[in-house]
Structure 1
Amino acid sequence: MGDTVPADLRLFEAMNLECDEQSLTGEAIAVEKTTDHGFHVPGTDAVADSEHDVSIGDRLNIAYATTVVRKGRGRGIVIATGMATEVGKIAASTSKKTRKAGRSMNWKKYGKKQVVVGGARRAYDFAGKFLGLTEGTPLQIKLARLAYLLFLCALILAVVVFAVNKFRVPNEVVIYAISTGIAIIPESLVAVLTITMVVATTVMRKANVVVRYVICVRPLHTSARSDSHAES
């Protein structure tokens, strides 16, 4: 109890063994480990063909590196160490930049057509990142798409206003077209989003999804001082 698992182990002996895998999977409750060789698919009676068909948290006969033993004892065979462990793979994925598939421009390996295809996909990735349409949280991407959609609608309305006036654009027509385009922008969008997120967070807090622990520690010298004052 209290030991840290030094490597990924496949258990062949477990005596009331439970490991805290919160640092790896986010599971707050300690996971009970077994020596069963099969990997059961959660929610069914089926047995997976390999361990890669189930999530990390459902591989009950494997103890992962950096996890802490909460109770019991066990022994196992080392199956991965260092960067080959599950926590090592996470560290490698966060530190190493990986290029998306199909972005290579190596014409000697993939042919001359790949230069055009790879260049076009790289340009799409750069434009999407610059415009905020491919990177960011789902909410940020949706807001970016909404902003460009509203901008397109504003341009269409401006063209319609110019077309009605047979593209004669005196100052009054320009001001009217700009006013029409600005009118389509929802001014209260920021307030609505803020209120919605606050309400959602409140609902999550009531369901005990958002939990904050506050631990108050009283210094020992405080009680000693109070006792001395009481004696005096």
Structure 2
Amino acid sequence: MAKNWHLSSIKQLLDELNTSIEKGLSTNESEKRLRRLGPNRLATGKPISPWGIFAHQFQDFMVLVLLGTVIVSLLLGEFLDATAILAIVLLNSFLGFTQEYRAEKSLLVLRNLTASQCKVLRDGHKTVIGVDEVVPGDIIFLEPGDRVPADARLIETQNLSVDESNLTGESLAVTKDANWQADIHTALADLKHIVFKSTLITRGYATALVVTTGMDTEIGEIADLLREKPSTMTPLQRRLDQLGKILVVACLVIVGVVFGVGLMHGLPIYNMFMVGVTLAVAAIPEGLPAVVTIALSVGVQKMSKRKAIIRHLPAVETLGCATVICSDKTGTLTLNKMEVQEVWTPSGFHRLQQGEALKINLDKEDDLFYSAITYALCTKAEVYEGEEAFGDPTEVALLRVSERSGLRQSNLRRHYPKVKSLPFDAERKRMTAVVRDGNEYLALVKGAPDVILQRCTQIMVGSKVYGLTEERRQLALSALESMADQA
């Protein structure tokens, strides 16, 4: 596939990929392409076996010096010293192995959390397949909460917004349009007619044509650059390596000096050689690698309590030496999740700490109660599998407040069945959901405050309804201005 495929029309891409919007690929053709191009996944390198992790602990130069000391001690008949030094080496290796093995297992769990299935058109029928089985030419269907399985050209969109923060670093969702036209100078982040692998659908629906998969995708190219980056020694590793070499040279000097002095005094050659070797062995700091490993392990444990995974122990020391960190903050220093910090209703302000619930009396239908059910019902955001919410970041933040306060979206939908909804658009500047409340109807509206206030004649304060006077209107606008100043 040409590098600038985003400049091609849908018809050109369909012809080049030998597929159709009506039928998609045949099962036989998709299997051929899967065998030829390989599975649609990012290369992560060969998994390290437990034995490989354990063997890695013996690559440090100081550890090799200690192993050499064990051999020399055995040759000298110092079995107790040899046993003690070997025990220290094994303890050091076991501590390092334990930390790195746990990190590898944690990373494996995180990789398995990625999307595993998607909806495609095969043989003219919609079907669900594993993401690994997606191939160029597949017609895929996307909806809120879906992770885009591959780089694809949009064929049809309905109010589509995509969170591309893990690719571009942009925290705001990007509006997509299948009819948008690109030119050769258009930047990656500005391509409105393309969706990229691993990005998240936050709102709307789409049909798209898969063009590239696996390591040929944009995120795959980034992964390839990271995979090819050579590893370097940390400052501590370099110092220990230098210390080990200095000790080896010092030991050889000690042996030479003792041996030479002994010869000058006419002492037996064998005896002087043994004395020199014994002094050299005694000069080796056997406990140093174990002390360093224990200190680094303590750092790893402290960071794990803060939900940070350290794959290799020496990385703790490198991070400790850092004075400046240059990072794309989205998803690294921030979570790319909006949180409601404060809610205003006519009864007053309600300040929320991170993750805190609104104090709602579920038996009392007041202004706070109706605000919360509006968050849950007048929205395109959805709660999936009872926990995770997907959709527009602002709507998701509001929905989380309702969920934490005990007003579960699934329960509210059963109690207040939706009759009709009008989506938010630039002209109306508001969204409306009409629900059934027993034998009555309830209209829930959210949108631009100035637009909604113009259409209101009454206001609920607590559980009582009053006429919306100019004084109360100004009170609402003042609260809005106060909160806007804090944004």
TM-score higher than 0.5: no
Which TM-score band (shorter chain)? 0.3 to 0.5
Give the structure with higher Rg (CA).
2
Report the structure, 1 or 2, having the larger helix content. 1
TM-score, normalization: structure 1?
A: 0.43
TM-score normalised over the length of structure 2? 0.23
With a CA cutoff of 8 Å and minimum separation of 6, indicate the structure with the bigger relative contact order: 1
